[in-house]
Amino acid sequence: MSHHRQGAVPRRRSPGSTRGFTLVEFMIGLTIGLLLLAGAFAMAGVQLGEHHRLMLELQVQQELRATAELMLRDLRRAAFWDRAQDGVWQDDPDVPVRNPYADVTVEDTGRRLTYSFARDGSASGGASVRETSGFRLSEGRIDQLISGRYQPLTDPDLLRVRRLEVRLASQGHPLGDACDPSCAVGGAACAPTLSARLVTLIVDAEAAHDPRVTHHLELLSPLHNHALSGACS
């Protein structure tokens, strides 16, 4: 009797079976996933940083512009006199009374400004403490002079003022023809002049917690009250 040896029949995979991931494939996939996740977090961090910086810029701009507008609004009252009629030539007295609030003083290379205006009736001896106002740059902030004392006008926790410069320019209008008799303009004995003044306000500031966030502001405004100097001979 002959014997036929039958070899082992190989197993065939069913069509629905799948092969699992190897360790190398798993590590590669995990690495790619982590890289993508890190990139997403980096982009989110950049966007959050830009958003925070933009908000700081807006805060600095708004704070600085509000401060400058307040300064100019108060400056427009400089040299106001509620007895301006006494400052014109009359028959009696012949010499007009000088405006006691006419002076506007810029000191410390533009970092300090002082002026006055009539508040509760005109003082015969000059401006009182309550009628004197002004601004200065001190320790990275702008202070306002109120009733003889300086008070902070800007918030040092929000912005740091690096530069405050006030420029005062004037243009004189000769009034020699208004004298009786008229006198030559520029003469030593007759030099009445009406001066129109223009204030330039320059401010540079940065965010208190991020010096990269800066803002520059430059505003011009005329003073409403002119200054009269000189007199007819």
Task: Determine the pLDDT at residue 83.
Answer: 77
Instruction: Identify whether 91 is part of a domain.
Output: yes
Instruction: Identify whether 12 is part of a domain.
Output: no
Token pair, residue 175, equals 């009034």
Task: Determine the pLDDT at residue 221.
Answer: 92
In this prediction the pTM is 0.70
Task: Determine the pLDDT at residue 190.
Answer: 64
Instruction: Identify whether 29 is part of a domain.
Output: no
Range of the domain at 93: 53-229
* pLDDT tens digits, 139-164: 999 999 998 999 999 999 999 999 99
- Residue 37's Cα: distance from chain center in Å? 42
Task: Determine the pLDDT at residue 143.
Answer: 97
Instruction: Identify whether 137 is part of a domain.
Output: yes
Within a 10 A sphere around the Cβ of 228, how many other Cβ atoms? 19
Instruction: Identify whether 200 is part of a domain.
Output: yes
Task: Determine the pLDDT at residue 25.
Answer: 76
Instruction: Identify whether 223 is part of a domain.
Output: yes
Distance separating alpha carbons of residues 208 and 78, to the nearest angstrom: 32
Task: Determine the pLDDT at residue 35.
Answer: 84
Q: Pick out the chain residues at pLDDT < 70.
A: 1-21, 51, 87-96, 120-126, 180-191, 233
Token pair, residue 228, equals 């009269």
Task: Determine the pLDDT at residue 11.
Answer: 53
Q: Side-chain half-sphere of 122: how many Cα atoms within 13 Å? A: 16
How many domains in the chain? 1
Asked whether the beta carbons of 217 and 64 are under 8 A apart, the reply is: yes
Instruction: Identify whether 23 is part of a domain.
Output: no
Instruction: Identify whether 46 is part of a domain.
Output: no
